[in-house]
Amino acid sequence: MEEISLRELIEILLKRKKIIAIITAITIIASGVISFLVLEPVYEAKAILMASGINAKAQPQSGTQGIEELLNNISQYPQMSIEAYKEQIKNPQILNQVIDELDLDEQGITRVHLRDMITLNTIKDTNLITISVKNEDKVLAANIANTVAKKFTIHVSEIAKAQADKSSNYIKSQLEVEKINLDEALLEYKNYLSQPQGLIELQKEVDSKTDLITQYKTDLLDEEIEEKKMIASLRTANEELEKTSEKIVLNKSIADDPLLTQYASDKENKTTEDVLNINLQSEEINGLYTNLKSQINDYEIRLSGIRAKKEALVKTIEETRNDLETLQADLAEKQHQEDIIKQKVDFTRSTYESFLKKYEETRILKSSDIGEASIIMVSPAVEPLKPVEPRKMFNLSVAAVLGLMLGVFAAFFIEYWKTSGVEVKKSNVSID
């Protein structure tokens, strides 16, 4: 059945080949007439721009921003993505400027018409933008493409300059504020340094008190050593004193004293020989005992002096330590105040210098032509040699395919119409 059906289809096409050929020829002829005789040739001019400073994705900002980073964000050149550049090219302001410069309104070209004439494309994985302009006048197409590129460059430069001017005005006003803050901080620091008992003076007093305490402790240590020596000497002297009697008994002959011998002889009426045999016993104070006693008294006096000196040194050390603690507390407070003031001065100076640096950068930025640096015309548009429309051979090919399809459809439709009409007549005859 499939072979029969396919055969019938082929027979229908062969049977209606004239109709198919006629319809195909008509569409081809119509397409040729329109393409070669009716449609005006359309030329396409292309200008290629290269955009620098592309920032396709916004950089994430940290939670805390320093002065430098904040000023960079304020004063930086407005970066746009490649898509943003494309959108700006068809900016109504740019289109109006192109129309005014080329007097396109005299040719009946409005802003809407001009926008439709311009086609923008980007080359993949590059920062190149293609500005394509189609028009029946090839010279005008090239002029429009180049003028659009030029006006867009100027437009970008104006945007950058406006941003730079705005940033410069803000930074300049803030710079004056920071200058006042710096002057106030420096004046506060100057007044602080002029106060009595400054940080340096307190530091010297602390050092002096520290040296005194050290000297007092050294003296106290010397006195303690001397006290120990004195106690040891006193102990030794007392031990010697205990071993030494206070008085001594002396045995001697009367002959040792001639006067006493003569006296005894006269008084006792004895002979000299008898008197010489008389022995005398006397008790005298021991000189060693006396010397030891005197030495012990001297040791005790010296020991009392040492102990009194020790007590005075301990008291002096305590008083000096209290004074030192007070001075150290004052010094710490002064140091804290100075650190706060110096930090304030350093911060205000750093802030002022940052604003001054950025002000100079924005001033230079205002005087530079950023648009020409950001947008570079890589390839200006030239007059095209051949039209891009109408595509004559392409149109003929499409017309041929379309005519063939219409012819086949017409052939099947005619065959179906006739076949269904014959069947209707047969059915009517058989009913009668």
Tens-level pLDDT at each residue, the chain (432 residues): 444 477 777 888 888 889 989 999 999 999 888 888 887 888 899 998 887 654 434 344 443 345 556 555 555 555 566 677 777 788 888 889 999 999 888 888 898 988 888 888 887 778 888 899 998 888 999 999 999 988 888 887 777 777 777 877 888 888 899 899 999 999 988 888 887 777 788 888 889 999 999 999 999 999 999 999 999 998 998 988 888 877 776 666 666 666 656 665 666 665 666 655 666 666 677 788 888 889 989 989 999 999 999 999 999 999 999 998 998 898 898 888 889 999 999 999 988 888 888 888 777 766 655 555 667 788 888 888 888 887 888 888 999 999 999 989 998 888 878 877 655 555 555 555
CB 146 within 8 A of CB 47: yes
> C-alpha distances in angstroms, 365 versus 68, 150, 172, 397?
17, 20, 14, 57
Structure tokens at 80: 């746009």
> C-alpha distances in angstroms, 4 versus 1, 8, 10, 11, 338?
5, 6, 10, 10, 110
Cis peptide bond N-terminal to 60, omega within 30: no
In angstroms, rounded to a whole number, what is the distance separating the alpha carbons of residues 232 and 228? 6
> C-alpha distances in angstroms, 58 versus 16, 35, 79, 314, 346?
67, 49, 9, 73, 33
Q: Determine the residue type at 267.
A: K
CB 159 within 8 A of CB 374: no
Judged by phi (left if over 0) then psi (alpha if -120 to 50, else beta), residue 430 lies in alpha
Structure tokens at 41: 């040739």
Q: Which residues contact 269 (CB under 8 A, 6 or more apart)?
A: none
In angstroms, rounded to a whole number, what is the distance separating the alpha carbons of residues 196 and 57? 59
Q: Which residues contact 348 (CB under 8 A, 6 or more apart)?
A: 178, 181, 182, 185
